[in-house]
Amino acid sequence: MLFTIDVGNTHTVTGLFDGDTLVGQWRLKSDPDRPNDELAIRYHALFSMADINKADIDGVILASVVPALESSWIACINTYFSKHLTNPPLVVSAESISSQIKILTDYPKEVGADRLVNAIAAWEQYRQNLIIIDFGTAITFDCVSAKCEYLGGTILPGIAISLDALSTRTAKLPRIDVTTPPPHVIGTNTVDAMKSGILYGYGALIDGLTEKIHKELCPNGEPMRVLATGGMAHLIAPFSKRIEAVDTLLTLRGLNLLFHKQYDI
């Protein structure tokens, strides 16, 4: 089985794959101060509860955007998993996966590992011009050409950041739950007005920015697909006309795919 690890700024999402089948998935808060021994204890408990034998894990792949946690995870893998691995653990970076995608940005090393994984996973599925929108702590737009070239993208504040800013930087705006939409775009009370601003506002932002990117990415009207992923994707997708599909497992599936491609399994 393959242990896939996606370390984000807010959450760490992990999955266990038996071939192409996801047999276990966990989502925990990312804590940069968590030592490698504590990581091992936590996942040993999770594996036990899922009746999974750690000895059956023969591969590990890690994508991290949190350097402190990346170091802890590497130490954890080397100490507690390496005994049973048939291939060296793969830590995703621009250098380690250079054979899988051509990165055409000014500074390839700056591109987040998760963004590269998403780009490869989406391109392998569709093999055309793509915009991948990841709704995480930040919202990222990643642009991939039909020739599997990572071209760059945009970064803007995520939904949770915006909600926190509204409630902490203003005197009268409360913390709200945006999982239920307002009845109208024009809010007739504070909560509905905030919900409208977030849901309809981000939906319009996504569509407007997608339109501008589309003109640069496909100047001659070439086919293009727009995918969304990340924990908040399902909230905004209904308010966007340009998002064509939501795939919340894109990164985990991408890690599984990338590991097998990298080691030609």
User: Tell me: the pLDDT tens digits for 168-223?
Assistant: 999 899 999 999 999 999 999 999 999 999 999 999 999 999 999 999 999 998 99
Residue 231 has pLDDT above 90, yes or no: no
Question: Which one of the listed residues 20, 37, 114, 164 is annotated catalytic?
Answer: 114
- Enter the pTM of the model: 0.93
Tokens (6 digits) for 105:
């940005």
> What DSSP string describes the chain?
-EEEEEE-SSEEEEEEEETTEEEEEEEEE--TT--HHHHHHHHHHHHHHTT--GGG--EEEEEES-HHHHHHHHHHHHHHTGGG-SS--EE--TTTTTTT-EE-SS-GGGS-HHHHHHHHHHHHHH-SEEEEEEESSEEEEEEE-TTSEEEEEEEEE-HHHHHHHHHHSSSSPPP---SS--SSSS-SSHHHHHHHHHHHHHHHHHHHHHHHHHHHH-TT---EEEEEESTTHHHHGGG-SS--EE-TTHHHHHHHHHHHHHTT-
Q: What is the pLDDT of residue 264?
A: 85
Q: What is the mean pLDDT of residues 57-86?
A: 94
Residue 174's pLDDT is 93
The tokens 């995703």 sit on which residue?
92
Residue 20 falls in the annotated catalytic set: no
| Domains defined for the chain, CATH in brackets | 2-91 (3.30.420.40), 102-253 (3.30.420.40)
Closest CA to 126 of 110, 112, 108, 146: 146
